[in-house]
Amino acid sequence: MVELGETAVDPEKLRFQLELEFVQCLANPAYLQYLAQQRHFDNPALINYLAYLKYWQKPEYAKYIQFPYALHILDLLQHESFRKACASADTAAFLHKKQYYHWEAYRARSWQNASTADLESQAGFIDSTAALPDLAVIKPESVDPNMINPT
């Protein structure tokens, strides 16, 4: 029953959102260290849940992940030795450093691959809205509802 002021939430959509959020949290080395230090990785139910979450690596789910590094961590968490190592501050610092260098290299590559027009647009030298489509032309039936409300 929905109380006054609350909205009904589709349980499947809520599950999707919660699992997505949890998988993305795995990209945070401090969170991994916390889970390990609090001995959550000793819980067989969590280990089974981590194995279950591997479905996020399928393309139809991975496209919603904002931090793809989390999918690599999810793979590593399938190994007991990695789960134990996560309790160490050195491991958290190492993961943080690797993540930093990954993003640094990614940004450098994206700058190298950016066209002059892209750079000028980002710098505000040209009207970047000129290339936007006229929204009045888009027909509602041409919009995929799964892109708006993924289930």
Instruction: Give residue-wise pLDDT tens across range 36-69.
Output: 999 999 999 999 999 999 999 999 999 999 988 8
Q: Looking at residue 87, what is its pLDDT? A: 95
Any domain includes 146:
no
Q: For residue 111, with 0-12 CB atoms within 10 Å meaning exposed, 13-18 middle and 19 or more buried, which class applies?
A: exposed
Token pair in block for residue 123: 């710098």
Any domain includes 132:
no
Asked if residue 6 has pLDDT above 90, the reply is no
Any domain includes 59:
yes
Any domain includes 64:
yes
Q: What letter would DSSP give residue 149?
A: S
In the predicted model, what is the mean pLDDT of residues 76-94? 94
Any domain includes 141:
no
CA–CA distance, 150 with 97 (Å, rounded to integer) = 33
Q: For the chain, how many structural domains are there in total?
A: 1
String of DSSP letters for 118-147: HHHHHHTSS-TTTTS--GGGS-GGGS-HHH
Domain coverage including residue 48? 11-127
Q: Looking at residue 7, what is its pLDDT? A: 73
Asked if residue 151 has pLDDT above 60, the reply is no
Any domain includes 148:
no
Q: Model confidence at 32, in pLDDT bands (50, 70, 90)?
A: very high
Any domain includes 36:
yes
Q: Residue 71's domain is classified under what CATH number?
A: 1.10.10.1340
For residue 20, the tally of other CB atoms under 10 A from its CB is: 18
CA–CA distance, 114 with 112 (Å, rounded to integer) = 6
CA 46 to chain centre: 19
What is the CB-side half-sphere exposure of residue 96 using CA atoms within 13 A?
Answer: 13
Task: End-to-end CA distance of the chain: give it in Å, rounded.
Answer: 22
Token look-up 């892209």 returns 118
Q: What is the pTM of this model?
A: 0.64
Any domain includes 80:
yes
Asked if residue 105 has pLDDT above 90, the reply is no
Instruction: Collapse the DSSP code of 69 into the 3-class scheme (helix H, G, I; strand E, B; otherwise coil) and give the result.
Output: helix
